[in-house]
Amino acid sequence: MAQEITTPATTGTTLVDVKGLKVHFPIKGGIFNRTVANVKAVDGVDMFIQRGETLGLVGESGCGKSTTGRAILQLVKPTEGSVVFEGDELTKLSPGALRQKRARMQMVFQDPFGSLDPRFSVGELVAEPLKNFNRGNAKEIEEQVADLLRVVGLNPFFMNRFAHEFSGGQRQRIGIARALALRPSLVVADEPVSALDVSIQAQVLNLLQDLQGKFGLTYLFVAHNLSVVKHISDRVAVMYLGRVVELSKSVEMYEMPLHPYTQALLSAIPVPDPEIESKRKRIILEGDVPSPVNPPSGCNFHPRCWKAQAVCREVIPPLEEKQYNHYAACHFPG
């Protein structure tokens, strides 16, 4: 990914700048426990997130979108590449400095059941980050917790209850309150609604949007559901097998996708309208996503791509600005 992406001067300032990000997980084997292969979960991701925007990161399972989100927050150590957040190179920070930085970047997790310690009460859960950063004495923290719970639409009355007494949507609200406690600037939301029922999803999506304005948040919204991502994002990045294949304003992406993978992905999404459904042509991709242990050479989408030429097998297409603010990594876009 040679091409460097620069922030367009006309839009907001860059909050996060990711360059050449790679996360490889070693597979150990043999008698001496040597690394025999690498799972290339993230294999050269470039992107930037602007202050105040919502960047959607979509892709199918195993494409590395969640790992990218975690690598940006340094929850997974990147193998290579740089992540600059608020002017600091996160990959080079000492553990102590990184811990301080955590107050500025938070995460909302996918699993409303697994992401809350079952032995903590709701109040303790929301207070944990505040205590870690010594934001006031016991009473002040309790007041802050009550405020936070109110903000996410929960009654502080239930502060002493345990997470298992709440439903999925309510638990997700607790998770959001926790993420907001330290007033971060960046929130990485990793599939925040995919474990929730449809009618509850909308509640949480609306809440996230409300809070963005209120707290001046920047979101990296990681999800596999393209309709949800389209709804909430200003810009969208599509990932395939460890790389960003397309990045643009969400309206443009959905109206005029440039990368063949994006086109196939968009055509596969069922629309809840039988009239439209009966008329739509689907691009059905052949085969399955290749293993990230042995990704195909060149453009890693070429074995499933109907436009593939010889060059696609050999040369990795860089993520380039094909149209104004519309980036795609394809030799034959459009």
Partner 1 sequence: MDTKDKNQEITGHEYMPPDSVVSPLQLDPDLTVLAENDLATALSENELKELAEKKEKPATPLQDSLRRLRRDKRAMASVGVIGFLVLLAIFGPFIYQHIGGPYDSALNGTISPQVYHSYYHQELDRQDEGPSAQYWLGTDDLGRDLLARLMQGLLISISIAVLVEVVDITLGILIGVLAGFHGGWIDQVLARFTDIIFAFPGLLFIILVAGIFGAWADTHLSGIPIIGANGNARLLLVSLALAFVAWPLMARYVRGQTLQLKEQQFIEAARTAGTSDTRIILRHIVPNLFSIVVVAATLARCL
Partner 2 sequence: MAENLLEVNNLKTYFFTRSGVVKAVDDVSFVIKPSQTLGIVGESGCGKSVTALSIMRLIATPPGKIVGGEINFNGENILEKNLDELTDLRGSQISMIFQDPMTSLNPVFTVGYQIAETVKRHHKDMSNDQAWKRSVEMLDLVRIPDAKKRAKSYPHEFSGGMRQRVMIAIALACNPKLLVADEPTTALDVTIQAQVLEPMSGLSKEFGTAVMLITHDLGVVAGTCQHVNVMYAGHVVESAPVKQIFATPAHPYTVGLLRSIPRMDEKHGSSLTPIGGQPPDLSREIIGCPYAPRCPKVQNRCRQERPELKPVGRGEQVAACFYPD
Backbone angles phi, psi at 36, to 5 degrees: -95, -25
**C-alpha 248: how far from chain center:** 15
Choice from 42, 57, 83, 116 touching partner 1 (CB under 8 A): 116
Choice from 157, 274, 281, 324 touching partner 1 (CB under 8 A): 157
Q: For the CB of residue 19, give the shortest distance to partner 1 in the complex, in Å.
A: 23
Q: Residue 305: which of partner 2, partner 1, none does it interact with, CB under 5 to 8 A by kind?
A: none
Indicate whether 150 belongs to the interface with partner 1 (CB under 8 A): yes
Reading the block at residue 94, the tokens are 């000492």
Which C-beta is closer to partner 1: that of 59 or that of 129?
Answer: 129
Contact footprint for partner 2 (CB under 8 A): 60-61, 167, 169-170, 197-203, 205-206, 209, 224, 226-228, 230-232, 250-251, 254, 264-266, 268-278, 282, 284-289
The percent helix, strand, coil of the chain (3-state, each to 5) is 35, 25, 40
Indicate whether 111 belongs to the interface with partner 1 (CB under 8 A): yes
Please say whether the dihedral angle defined by the alpha carbons of residues 262, 78, 212 and 123, taken in this order, is positive or negative. Answer: positive
Q: For the CB of residue 229, give the shortest distance to partner 2 in the complex, in Å.
A: 9
Indicate whether 148 belongs to the interface with partner 1 (CB under 8 A): no
Q: For the CB of residue 209, give the shortest distance to partner 1 in the complex, in Å.
A: 9
Helix 168-180 crosses helix 198-215 at what angle (to 10 degrees)?
Answer: 10
Which C-beta is closer to partner 1: that of 90 or that of 154?
Answer: 154
Which C-beta is closer to partner 1: that of 163 or that of 305?
Answer: 163
CA–CA separation, 176 and 179 (whole Å): 5
DSSP-derived pairing of the beta strands 54-58 and 235-240:
parallel
Q: For the CB of residue 240, give the shortest distance to partner 1 in the complex, in Å.
A: 22
Which C-beta is closer to partner 2: that of 137 or that of 278?
Answer: 278
| CB crowding 295-330: b at 16 or more within 10 Å, else e | bbebbbbbbbbeebeeebeeebbbbeebeeebbbbb
Report which residue type is found at 180: L
Which C-beta is closer to partner 1: that of 50 or that of 172?
Answer: 172
* C-alpha to C-alpha distances, 168 to 108, 156, 195, 200, 225, nearest whole angstrom: 13, 18, 8, 9, 18
Residues that bind partner 1 (CB under 8 A): 70, 73, 75, 99-100, 102-103, 106-107, 109-111, 114-119, 121, 128-129, 132-133, 150-151, 153-158, 160-162, 165-168, 170, 175, 178-179, 181-182, 194-198, 203, 206-207, 210, 214
